[in-house]
């Protein structure tokens, strides 16, 4: 009897480290073990050179200058440094921050802490049912004391891509700094800060086939020069913005991951988007009463968030032992409450509880998608057979839609 297959489709939670990244990192766990801050011998010089090379590679993905990249422990630290650092440095200019209700907790929680402590006044915009916010909404929220707008590039649960180019242009015209959490989009979507764009950008290694525990924050160096108050005191590393001995192996890994992503972004995006289309087609062909959450056009290539009517999401997850998916963000997966992201875009509680997030990535194949689709449809049908409410709802949907099967689903 063969070993049971398991298909990994949770690439918004984390990605596997690319073997090419591992290969680049290995020497820095061994013979190249120096501290990048040691300036008096070759071990330190070699480590510093590796860090600066990685800094250039990360900067190159978004059109930044290498000196504008600050290495952190991950996007959560980058978000905290951006939000708290701006709020503290520009406190005399104003205390108003504008963000979105569907942001990652790494942005929402620092904003909440600042608001609760009286260090900032926070406005969290409610997106449309598609998950999108507009530059017009941001414009209405900005006031004379607004110092920061924070809108993520692509949402970690529903994959929706926000119009950050338009928002950046608006913020620049109003003299307000703009931060974007690009943990999910870095190396997967084009982003160029050289001709505008956000003033601060958060990056995570483990969302881009790099190692965990490493990230970066882009901090615009001119026009305007962004200033931050450091949140970690120590040796004044990273131009005084982030003290602490640099994690050289992980930084090298992030640099290599960034280099690979930049080279393969277009082709990889097209292939992964094709796999997502295949998965969606299989689901809507086999199942009724399902809804796609979030805009399908403005979306990460590998993200698909679907609610299955009359199925309890946790029961479905438990049944899918051989398909690794999630019901929302990995950072809030211990909560029994439905996704706050889905709630913010108006998904009712029952449908929110029945949602699954599929994250398709670099190492997935068409065979993976076919297998996952078969398993999901089989388990949904099995669970629905146990629901006395499903049959009535299905009949009502058929009567309303007639015989046209395509109208039984949200337009795709």
Count, residues in the chain? 412
Contact (Cβ atoms closer than 8 angstroms) between residue 359 and residue 302: yes
Under DSSP, the state recorded for 403 is T
Contact (Cβ atoms closer than 8 angstroms) between residue 226 and residue 199: yes
Contact (Cβ atoms closer than 8 angstroms) between residue 378 and residue 308: no
Virtual torsion, Cα 226, 232, 234, 240, nearest 10 deg: -10
Three-state DSSP at 227 gives coil
Q: Bridge partners of 250? A: none
Q: Is 331 a catalytic residue?
A: yes
Strands in 290-292's sheet, in edge-to-edge order, are 290-292, 303-308, 355-359
Contact (Cβ atoms closer than 8 angstroms) between residue 293 and residue 305: yes
Selecting among 111, 171, 331, 374, the annotated active-site residue is 331
How far is the first Cα of the chain from the last one, in angstroms, to the nearest whole number? 41
Catalytic residue ranges: 331
């Amino acid at each position: 009897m063969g070993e049971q297959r398991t298909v990994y489709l949770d690439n918004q939670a984390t990605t596997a480290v690319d073997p090419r990244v591992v290969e680049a990192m290995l020497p820095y766990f061994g013979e190249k073990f120096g501290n990048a801050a040691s300036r008096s011998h070759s071990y330190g010089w070699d480590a510093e050179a590796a860090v600066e090379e990685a800094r250039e590679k990360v900067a190159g993905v978004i059109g930044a200058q290498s000196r504008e990249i600050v290495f952190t422990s991950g996007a959560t630290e980058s978000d905290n440094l951006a939000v708290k650092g701006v709020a503290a440095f520009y406190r005399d200019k104003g205390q108003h921050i504008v963000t979105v209700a569907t942001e990652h907790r790494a942005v929402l929680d620092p904003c909440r802490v600042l608001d609760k402590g009286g260090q900032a006044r926070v406005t969290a915009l409610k997106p449309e049912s598609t998950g999108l916010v507009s530059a017009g909404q941001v414009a209405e929220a900005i006031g004379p004391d607004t110092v920061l707008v924070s809108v993520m590039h692509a949402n970690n649960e529903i994959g929706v891509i926000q119009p950050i180019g338009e928002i950046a242009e608006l913020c620049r015209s109003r003299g307000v700094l703009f931060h974007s959490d690009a943990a999910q989009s870095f190396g997967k979507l084009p982003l160029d800060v050289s001709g505008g764009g956000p003033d601060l950008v958060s990056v995570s290694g483990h969302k881009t086939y790099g190692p965990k525990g490493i990230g970066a924050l882009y901090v615009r160096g001119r026009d305007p020069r962004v200033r931050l108050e450091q949140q970690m005191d120590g040796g004044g590393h990273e131009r005084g913005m982030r003290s602490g001995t640099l994690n050289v192996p992980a930084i090298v890994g992030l640099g290599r991951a960034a280099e690979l992503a930049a080279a393969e972004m277009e082709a990889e995006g097209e292939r992964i988007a094709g796999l997502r289309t295949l998965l969606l087609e299989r689901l809507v062909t086999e199942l009724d009463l399902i809804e796609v959450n979030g805009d399908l056009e403005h979306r990460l290539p590998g993200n698909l968030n679907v609610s299955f009517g009359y199925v309890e999401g946790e029961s479905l997850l438990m049944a899918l032992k051989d398909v690794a998916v999630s019901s929302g963000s990995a950072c809030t997966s211990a909560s029994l409450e439905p996704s706050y992201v889905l709630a913010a875009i108006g998904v009712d509680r029952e449908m929110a509880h029945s949602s699954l997030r599929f994250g398709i990535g670099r190492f997935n194949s068409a065979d993976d998608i076919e297998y996952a689709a078969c398993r999901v449809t089989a388990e949904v049908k099995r669970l629905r057979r146990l629901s006395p409410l499903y049959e009535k709802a299905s009949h009502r949907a058929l009567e309303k839609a007639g015989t046209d099967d395509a109208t039984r689903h949200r337009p795709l």
